[in-house]
Structure 1
Amino acid sequence: MTNETPIIPAKELAARNRAHFPNESVEYRHARDALLAEEIELRRHIERVAEMRRRLPQGGEVTKTYRFEGEAGPVTLADLFADKDTLIVYSYMFGPQREKPCPMCTSLMASWEGKVPDIEQRVALAAIARSPIERLIAAKKARGWRQLKVYSDSDGSFTRDYVSAEDADVPGYTVFTRRDGTIRHFWSAEMSNEMADPGQDPRDAPDPDPLWTLLDTTPEGRGKDWYPKLEYPSGV
């Protein structure tokens, strides 16, 4: 026997929809309700994937003492946890060879900036790049960010172990846990360019940047010839 509540088929749930809008056609409503059933299935699939992620076996123990330069001085990976048991590290593309930070990384980080107080209710969050901390602070101030914490992986040891063995200027998203004083790797985004579907840019699922989620609700979609920029002409 099971005590689990039976899942109602998505089409049955969609049939309960009472939404209608002025002057819509029968054809529109039929197609929209079919889409609604798929959206319900997508919601369920997202939750199944999240549950699989939560049930991952223990990841590898972090045995090195990774050191970073923060806005207030030197810190270790353990310090980045503060009083939390879980730490999210976003490694962004702003290596010494770059004149300015990556626009795509900047777009993503900008979307998190205002949510830092909410995020930090549950987990710690740190943004790490390979440039000297002075450059990271200057770029942060240029964006008007006050809440997102940035750190320099000056010697590159963390980047080489958890982002790119070649120390390439690529992004990374890594989650660590600390239980009973032991830090372990929990999960990292692993979708690479080689895993992209035909006609699509490489992307994670779900996409961590809400920019793309919003554009996906529009008839134009994400498009294939537009990407975020660090600056736009006045008035745009």
Structure 2
Amino acid sequence: MTAKAVPPVVDAETWQRRLDDLRAREKAATRELDAIAAQRRRMPMVEMPEYTLDGEEGPVRLAEVFGDRTQLIVYNHMWSPGKTWQCSGCTGFTSQFTRLEFLDAYDAKFVIVTQGPIDETLAYKRRVGNRMTWYSTANSPFGSDVGAPPGGGFAVNVFLRDGDTVYRTWHTEGRGTEQLSHSFALIDLLPYGRQEEWQDSPDGWPRSPTYSRWATSEDIAAFYGAEA
């Protein structure tokens, strides 16, 4: 058919039987994710100290970041001081979230916090065309206390507010964030998948070094930024 390796061609009955086998595993995984979410809803929480972050309008207490909501998701974006282009993974991940109003019905918000100074943070937001609300923890220990210290990696944290008291309810990092991304979900549907060296694929499938197909921060700026 082509020079590139392709899946074997079978009759429709055989294809349906293989799909049915796969569907059983997919449904089992869905039920497992439901069970994990149920366990997450039963997690205890820990009270947080008061923090003051820097926002677009000036200093703001962590409890005020919620606005009138009681639930808050925070993505801690990696930050390299003095760099024009920040982490491409963080930049690409957060570029996906352009319409978050649906969270209003769930009494929730989703924001970005970074270790960068607020002026640099907001300039970077504009440069790459990000649509989310950004805050800086450069003058606060908040990032360090939730698993994203200066020079450290990215993280996702979830908080619950009761009045002016904020509680931490969940945290993840690394590949734990993949479930929040639609990009990997779409790519994993493709016959060739992510095409990365670590991926379990048939012999002859295209393979590339890990991350090599990811959009760079410059790419994201060209797609969505102020000059795009």
TM norm structure 1: 0.76
User: Do the aligned partners of residues 180 and 68 (structure 1) sit closer, same or farther apart at CA in structure 2, a change above 3 Å counting?
Assistant: closer
CA distance in 2, matches of 1:171, 1:145: 17
1:135-155 Cα offsets, whole Å, 9 max, x none, are 111111122334x10011112
Structure 1 residue 141 and structure 2 residue 141: aligned? no
Q: Would you say the 8 A contact 1:68–1:76 is kept in 2?
A: yes
Deviates more, 1:48-57 or 1:89-98: 89-98
Q: CA deviation at 1:187?
A: 0.6
Q: Which structure would you say has the larger RCO, counting Cα contacts within 8 Å and 6 or more residues apart?
A: 2
Matched, 1:115 2:99: yes
Amino acid at match of 1:31: R
- Preserved CA contact (<8 Å) 1:95 1:129: no
Q: Which position in structure 2 is the counterpart of 1:170?
A: 153
1:34 match: 21
CA deviation map 1:95-154 (0-9, x unaligned): 325331211111111111x222122432022201111111111111122334x1001111
Instruction: Summarize deviations over 1:142-200 as a string: whole Å, max 9, x none.
Output: 22334x10011112401111124x5333101001111254311101115xxxxxxxxxx
- Answering whether residue 188 of structure 2 is matched by residue 216 of structure 1, we say yes
Alpha-carbon distance, 1:85 to partner: 0.9
Equivalent-residue separation in structure 2 for 1:178 and 1:153 (angstroms): 19
Q: CA contact under 8 A between 1:107 and 1:209: conserved in structure 2?
A: no
Q: What does 1:46-195 correspond to in 2, within 5 Å?
A: 46-57=33-44, 59-63=45-49, 65-112=50-97, 114-122=98-106, 123-146=108-131, 148-164=132-148, 167-189=150-172
* Shift of residue 211, structure 1, vs aligned partner: 0.8
1:16 alignment partner in structure 2: none
- CA offsets 1:63-105 (integer angstroms, 9 cap, x no match): 2x21111111111111111111111111001232533121111
Structure 1 gaps of 5+ residues are 1-22, 191-201
CA distance in 2, matches of 1:24, 1:156: 62
Q: Conserved in 2, the CA contact under 8 Å of 1:95 and 1:169?
A: no
Change (3 A) 1:180 1:139: closer
Within 2, Cα distance between the matches of 1:50 and 1:126?
Answer: 21
Structure 1 runs, 4 residues or longer, greater than 6 Å off: none
TM-score under structure 2 length normalisation: 0.78
Q: Would you say the 8 A contact 1:94–1:100 is kept in 2?
A: no
Q: How many residues get paired?
A: 197
Secondary structure (helix, strand or coil) at the match of 1:90 reads strand
Q: Is the contact made by 1:46 and 1:206 (CA closer than 8 Å) also made in structure 2?
A: no
1:197: which partner in 2?
none
Alignment partners' CA distance in 1, 2:28 and 2:63 = 39
Moved more, 103-112 or 115-124: 115-124
| C-alpha RMSD of the superposition | 2.3
The amino acid across from 1:173 in the alignment is: V
Q: What is the identity percentage for the equivalent residue pairs of Structure 1 and Structure 2?
A: 27
